């Protein structure tokens, strides 16, 4: 009886260790490239997909350049294995938060990516900085959104609350400039070159492949 209890205890310990190992996060030593692990932040990693979170200001020319060059190139490289999410994080002084709220409302209507591209283009290529209701109607037409539904959502306050939530996240992890890039919620990238980001993302996906 004593031997049986001992055997059951050993089997339980082995099972516990196995479950513990299977629940371990990525092996950081196997990730290539330059990055910093934020140990107090939870991982948002999905097996077979990397989430690239970009804290960005629509009025920041560096954010526009990153989105247009590096972001697009990475999306073409990894396809549906990479999900890019922008978090509005205003840093340019003297600008209204309207464009950030427009982006948040467009996201709820399934047109966040299209709105992001149009806003960046309008500000940095067409030199449009004021987005009153008349200007918004032109943007909505280009994006393909119903104006009445959009304006109603904008007036609800939900886009503003979403913007504030994103800003709180950025402030918690001490975002001080844009663009700031975080992979899977807890891997901070300072070197935003295509080659470095590609190395980090590819090595994460390689680990997923080996584990499956």
| Mean pLDDT of the region 61-67 | 97
Beta pairing partners, 130: none
Residue 135 lies in a domain: yes
Residue 87 lies in a domain: yes
The CATH number assigned to the domain holding 85 equals: 3.40.30.10
pLDDT value, residue 31:
86
Distance, in Å, from the CA atom of 40 to the CA atom of 186, rounded to the nearest integer, reads 8
Render pLDDT for 82-121 as a digit per residue (tens, 0 to 9): 999 999 999 999 999 999 999 999 999 999 999 999 999 9
Say if residues 90 and 138 touch (Cβ distance below 8 Å): no
pLDDT band at 50 (very low <50, low <70, confident <90, very high): very high
Q: What's 127's DSSP letter?
A: -
Residue 19 lies in a domain: no
Q: Which region holds residue 177: left if phi is over 0, alpha if psi is between -120 and 50, else beta?
A: beta
Would you tell me how many other CB atoms lie within 10 Å of the CB of residue 176?
10
Residue 164 lies in a domain: yes
Structural domain of 62:
33-211
| Domain count within the chain | 1
pLDDT value, residue 210:
85
pLDDT value, residue 7:
40
Render pLDDT for 115-170 as a digit per residue (tens, 0 to 9): 999 999 999 999 999 999 999 999 999 999 999 999 999 999 999 999 999 999 99
């Amino acid at each position: 009886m004593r031997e049986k209890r001992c055997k059951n205890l050993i089997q339980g310990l082995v099972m516990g260790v196995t479950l513990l190992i299977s629940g371990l996060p990525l092996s950081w030593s196997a990730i290539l490239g330059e990055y910093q692990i934020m140990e107090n932040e939870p991982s948002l990693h999905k097996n077979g997909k990397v989430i690239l979170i970009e804290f960005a200001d629509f009025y920041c020319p560096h954010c526009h350049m990153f989105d247009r060059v590096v972001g697009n190139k990475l999306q073409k490289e990894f396809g549906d294995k990479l999900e890019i999410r922008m978090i509005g994080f205003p840093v340019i002084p003297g600008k209204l938060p309207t464009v950030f709220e427009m982006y948040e409302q467009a996201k709820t209507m399934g047109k966040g990516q299209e709105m992001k591209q149009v806003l960046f283009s309008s500000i940095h290529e067409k030199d449009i900085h004021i987005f009153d209701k008349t200007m918004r109607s032109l943007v909505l037409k280009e994006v393909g959104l119903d104006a009445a539904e959009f304006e109603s959502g904008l007036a609800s306050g939900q886009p503003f609350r979403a913007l504030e939530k994103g800003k709180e996240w950025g402030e918690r992890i001490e975002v001080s400039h844009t663009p700031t890039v975080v992979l899977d919620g807890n891997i901070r990238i300072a070197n935003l070159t295509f080659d470095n980001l590609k190395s980090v993302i590819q090595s994460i996906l390689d680990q997923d492949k080996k584990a499956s």
